[in-house]
Structure 1
Amino acid sequence: MDKFLKSKDNGEDCDADKENGEEEIPRKRTKYGMSGVWDYFKKCADGKTAKCTKCGQICQTSGNTTNLSAHLIRKHPNLSTIEESKAAGPISTLLQKKYDASSARKKTLDSALTTYITSDRRPYCVVEDKGFRHLVEVLDPRYQLPSRRTLRDVCIPNLFIEMKQKLREILDKIEFCAVTTDGWTSKANENYLSVSCHFITEEFEMRTAVLSTTKLKEETNHSAQNIANSLRDVFNEWGVAQKITAIVTDNASNMKSACEILSKSNVPCVAHTINLIVQECLANENLKPLLAKCKQIVGFFKSSTIAYAKFREAQNKENPLSLKQECPTRWNSAYHMVKRFLETKDAICKVLLNTPKALSPLSADEIVILEDLEKLLSPFEHATKSTSSSSLVTVSMVIPVCCGLLHNLESLKGNLATEEGERACTILIYGTRNRLLKYESRSNTRISTLLDPRFKKDGFLSPFNVSEAEKFLESELSMFNALSEPHPSSSNLPAPKPAVQPHPLFDFLKKKKSEKIRSIRADSIIGLKQYFNTENVEPSISPLDYWKISTDNAFKRCVKKFLCVPATSTESERMFSKAGHIVNEKRSCLKPQQVDMLFFINKNDWTK
């Protein structure tokens, strides 16, 4: 009623104004506030379009901001709401609303955060750090970080379950695999057993997956039986017990005995064996005092900032070298120390002679001994590196590496300048023959060498071991040929059609042909001869690339069975180095279940 009376009064006033000769002035619509969308758009001259100040796109607008808001939602989600709002208010107000827990954007950001935690080995408490929270707030104000408990109890377990299912599906499809295992102690003084699986895919790619990082079944018992029981549980959980070709471990007696209990072939780590040979040489009484003196000099520079500054200045280089200290548990660290010492010997001598109360520098004779030692240890450094890859075939290189070491040492023996060097060479030759030649008599390593087209029979030292390996490989091929369909050969290829009809006089030939029995062993022998008669491929060619294009299924199955075995257990050693970042001071109290999940996700990220 009031509204009606007001409009009537307004009407009378208007009539009065008209009578007085005054024109009617149209009223303007009351403004209730400018939309925040216009903070990101500028009206064009035509009045019907607007230009985005962020990307420059032209959008239609007929007096409202519906199209403009939709553009912000679609192209600039960080500046708008995820869902379209009919009543578009200021953008600053809309951005205060956090993502819904079920929104796709929230799930994407949570997944990215989880990947950051696991890949870079960050502690859960990073989501509570002031600087990190500020960074996330600047990047996306609408994203609310999950708490450390949500990360630990929801995000990480969900990703673990997802990746575990994917890996299980992959392992179900493979026919053969190898396992490496070793133990390590965390900073919380807890012992863990790591188990890694190695296999060759259908695309002939080498893959490595971590199956488990858990404590032994009985924590106070490190016996072979307890290790075997713990490994058996892991194998049964993943369903690979019957697929394992060999288990690679260090030279510890309890590890070897555990493999015997499990009835699995054991391959001792080649890198660990090489390290034992080198350590036996360095323990020689003729070298031990010299190496101790060398370590003392390196330790002097490491402990004195003044001496180390003088050492860097004495090198007269833009990027001066640093000294390296020997660590007996780190492979080839003595070689690295000696090599760097010789590279910087002039600077070392200059600083020691000009520094009061410093150690005495090495004499010229001692430097010559170190030069001989550096020559002797260099082949062992190369051997360790060439057999320690986890993405390439390495088990086939063990026997050729042993032969190469012996040939190198024999050739160096007459070119050494000191008696100490000659004694060290003799010790290394003895250790190589005593420890590494055993690999020629192991089935896994010698068959793998035959299957490597780079080496074949030429990689062996003993002709007897070649013949024994050939017999074993022949029986393996015969077994696989018996289980598979015969592959095409020159005898069963389609023959050309005869020009004239054959005379019945030769019908007996058809009868004899039909009565012939295919010999699986003969096919295996023929296949081996054809393979051995071809030239060896270049050392730079991967054996997996060679066999990938082969049409012989029996050979391919042998390759997957034997070449999947790694030559070393360095994959476990690499896990130990990552363990120091995962179980660190900020999270030394991680539960074993959390340690297992973090290791699994970190090492198996290729399955995502």
Structure 2
Amino acid sequence: MSLIRKYSEIWNHFEEVGRQEAKCKYCKSILSCKSQSNLSRHLKSKHPASMEPVIRQNTDGPIFVQSAQPKITSFAERPVPASKAQQIDLQLVRMIAKGHHALRLVEEPEFKKFIHDVSHAPNYKLPTRKTLTSSLIPKIRDKYTGTIIEELRAATAVCLTTDGWTSITNESYLAVTVHFIDEESTMLTSYTIACQAFEASHTAANLCSFLEKIVNEWDLKNKVAAIASDNAHKIALAIRTGNWSDIRCFAHTLNLIVQKALDKMSSVRRKAKAISEYFHRSSSGLKKLKDMQALLKLADLKLTQDVPTRWNSTYKMFERLSILKEAVVAALSTRTDLILSPEDWDVIDGVLPVLKPFYEVTEEISAEKNVTLSKIIALNGLLQRKMAQIYPTVKNNLVAEDGRQV
């Protein structure tokens, strides 16, 4: 390598970043520099305007590349002609429409980066589906796995979260996510390190064995400070069996509390859900609702459907119905089977101030980019004070954050 560096002007276009690696000054790609021809091929294929190669034989032996100075056109981004831009836009719309892709695709950072990279590599060819699944994905997965393992080795302690669910094909799955503070950036870092089918019986022993296997695979045996899970008895017992600290999910606990309270108004909830589903299912009904919203100058909002496993969706459903009450009543004037009585509307309006603090706390505690465990005591106290304001009789049972009776 020392000979290549001494005699070759190719290093006008690269920076040495390791004993056998170089970084392109134009696209910042990291390349192996064991062979000078590898660097030359990169310049010829990716940045042809940056050099006019003249291959010569040095009198001392090594081959070197003499190149012209980089041209200003190699650094400037030329605007795309209007006709070409329209053609590309048309193809983008075709791709989204025919492939049933979400419109938010054009806002995805990784998709934008992909388009940018492709635009600078006109000879790039998309890999086949077989190549993608059998070669590229495993290769990149192994690369990132190695990177994550190195980060975890540097971490002094980690926490795990685990959860299980059943797919629409009735297959059972378990997932494990690791969380730790990156010492360099002091930021919370999270990686999903397992998402696997779990065919064994969901006993505490089997669940504990699964967690132990994941912990050993990622070399975390002496680093797990705690494992957070839902309130299911078996997973909690499995965590304790493995001698880990068990932390119950605060958001899940709130969900259980509110779901139990909502059972007391199941009739109103069922009617409200039927109304929301009707407007999602009926195009004519939805048009009538929108016309009424416009006529009454109400907000252009959609009704939200209730999802049994997420009580927050019940709050949003009640909130939207309350906001659009006049339009909903008018749009359902001919549907005697979808009627909320005045008493039902009173229940909805009355429960919203109670559910709102739980909704806000659940949103806060569900944040992914910052640590939330330290907020639980404060948020729990906040909830109690909010409930005391709504129901003064609750105040007699309030407990301060330090355990003293208020």
Scaled by the length of structure 2, the TM-score of the pair is 0.67
Higher-Rg structure is 1
2:190 to 208, 211, 233: 208
1:289 aligns with 267
User: CA RMSD of the aligned region, Å?
Assistant: 3.3
1:259-338 map, 5 Å: 259-284=239-264, 287-316=265-294, 317=297, 320-338=300-318
Tell me if structure 2 keeps the 8 A contact 1:78–1:140.
no
- 3-state secondary structure, aligned to 1:214: strand
Normalized per residue, the structure richer in strand is 2
1:178 aligns with 159
Structure-2 separation of matches of 1:247 and 1:197 = 9
Tell me if structure 1 keeps the 8 A contact 2:174–2:196.
yes
CA deviation vs aligned residue, 1:60-119 (integer Å, no higher than 9, x gap): xxxxxxxxxxxxx96995888999599xxxxxxxxxxxxxxxxxxxxxxxxxxxxxxxxx
**Structure 1, unaligned runs of 5 or more:** 1-72, 87-121, 123-135, 415-424, 438-458, 465-608
Tell me if structure 2 keeps the 8 A contact 1:179–1:195.
yes
CA deviation vs aligned residue, 1:545-589 (integer Å, no higher than 9, x gap): xxxxxxxxxxxxxxxxxxxxxxxxxxxxxxxxxxxxxxxxxxxxx
Structure-1 separation of matches of 2:197 and 2:285 = 46
- 3-state secondary structure, aligned to 2:193: strand
Amino acid at match of 2:166: T
Structure-2 separation of matches of 1:390 and 1:141 = 38
Scaled by the length of structure 1, the TM-score of the pair is 0.45
Of all paired residues, the percent bearing the same amino acid is: 31
- 3-state secondary structure, aligned to 2:332: helix
Alpha-carbon distance, 1:153 to partner:
2.3
Going from structure 1 to structure 2, the CA distance change for 1:163 and 1:169 (only over 3 Å counts) comes to same
Tell me if structure 1 keeps the 8 A contact 2:200–2:206.
no
Structure-2 separation of matches of 1:257 and 1:407 = 33
Alpha-carbon distance, 1:335 to partner:
0.6
Amino acid at match of 1:147: T
More relative contact order, 1 or 2 (CA 8 Å, 6+ apart): 1
Going from structure 1 to structure 2, the CA distance change for 1:81 and 1:388 (only over 3 Å counts) comes to same
Structure-2 separation of matches of 1:186 and 1:352 = 36
2:112 aligns with none
Structure-1 separation of matches of 2:270 and 2:298 = 30
Tell me if structure 1 keeps the 8 A contact 2:182–2:188.
yes
1:162 to 139, 143, 156: 143
Tell me if structure 1 keeps the 8 A contact 2:46–2:120.
no
Alpha-carbon distance, 1:162 to partner:
1.5
The answer to whether structure 1 residue 195 and structure 2 residue 183 are counterparts is no
Tell me if structure 2 keeps the 8 A contact 1:403–1:461.
no
- 3-state secondary structure, aligned to 1:462: coil
Structure-2 separation of matches of 1:311 and 1:157 = 50
1:285-434 map, 5 Å: 287-316=265-294, 317=297, 320-353=300-333, 355=334, 357-359=335-337, 361-414=339-392
Structure-1 separation of matches of 2:122 and 2:158 = 48
1:460 aligns with 401
Structure-2 separation of matches of 1:198 and 1:137 = 34
Tell me if structure 2 keeps the 8 A contact 1:348–1:361.
no
Number of residues of Structure 1 aligned to a counterpart in Structure 2: 302
Tell me if structure 2 keeps the 8 A contact 1:297–1:359.
no
Going from structure 1 to structure 2, the CA distance change for 1:411 and 1:303 (only over 3 Å counts) comes to same
